[in-house]
Amino acid sequence: MAKRVWAEAKKDNLTLLAAGVAFYAMLALFPSLIALVTVYALAADPAKISEQIEPVTSLLPQEAAELVEQQLTAIVESNTGSLTIGLVVSVLAALWAASGGIGALITGINAVYGQEEQRGFVKLKALALTLTLGAVVVVVLALLLVAAFPSVVDALNLGTAGRLAAELGRWLLLAALIALTLSVFYRVGPSQASARWRWMSWGAVIALVIWLLGSIGFSLYVGNFGSYNKTYGTLAAVIILMLWLYLSAYVILLGAELDAELDRRERVRAG
């Protein structure tokens, strides 16, 4: 199976697809942060968002994490925290810009599944906007889970063993939430009616594991062996962030490649 998936990845030019997705993801990243902060501010204090996404930014190389945190700080400082017509318009504009990255991912997943896009522009853009909004909501829910967890555990007085079990349960729940989100992308991304729905697909689980390990490894490499600051100077943080997005896009598409291969095998068995 692994050899077959790898061969299909080479055949589909997964490296080039991932590069395209990473480029559009870079363009969509900061509009996504604007939408994220705006939605999050309706439920919690946005000033704490940098602290609460630290488990995610810690996976990034230091330079990339600092770049994201600087942008978050600037967005938070300009955010009013109240729901106004102007705010709604700005959120919609941010979601529209961010949906470009999701649209590129849909195109990549279509290529992995060997599908030609049959959906019209309006339907496809509506799908990209819906997935973008859904991704923002998932991130907000994850942040609220992280933020509320310590106070809930303290109130329950679970003891040392109970706290360790609750901590493990929290990270397992967050991992399941990310894997479920990927499963949704793998189901609705391909332009085919026969794509099988899985609550937790193998592609999503494997992609999540590889992404975590790859992000940690990339962060260690940049921090200890890379020479991006010497090579790129002030652009180092942007280049490192772009490379991390490329790594993430490649892993997500590789997970889709695995699910596509499993779908092909099931159709052969059924036919």
Residues, the chain: 271
Q: Give pLDDT, residue 134.
A: 87
Residue 77 pLDDT greater than 60, yes or no:
yes
pLDDT at 117 over 90: no
Q: Which residue has the tokens 């705010």?
A: 87
- What was the pLDDT predicted at 73? 78
Angle at 179 between CA 73 and CA 265, to 5 degrees: 145
In this predicted structure, the answer to whether residue 50 has a pLDDT above a threshold of 70 is no
Question: Mean pLDDT, the chain, as a whole number?
Answer: 81
CB 1 within 8 A of CB 206: no
Is the Cβ–Cβ distance between 67 and 32 less than 8 Å?
Answer: no
Q: Can you give the pTM of this predicted structure? A: 0.82
Q: Which pLDDT does position 84 carry in this prediction?
A: 61
**Exposed (0-12), middle (13-18) or buried (19+): which is 139, by Cβ within 10 Å?**
buried
Q: Could you tell me the pLDDT band of residue 133, with boundaries at 50, 70 and 90?
A: confident
Task: Please tell me the predicted confidence (pLDDT) of residue 187.
Answer: 87
* Single-letter code of the amino acid located at 118: Q
Neighbours of 239 (CB within 10 A): 16
Q: What is the pLDDT of residues 195-213, one digit of tens each?
A: 566 777 889 999 999 998 9
CB atoms within 10 A of CB 30: 18
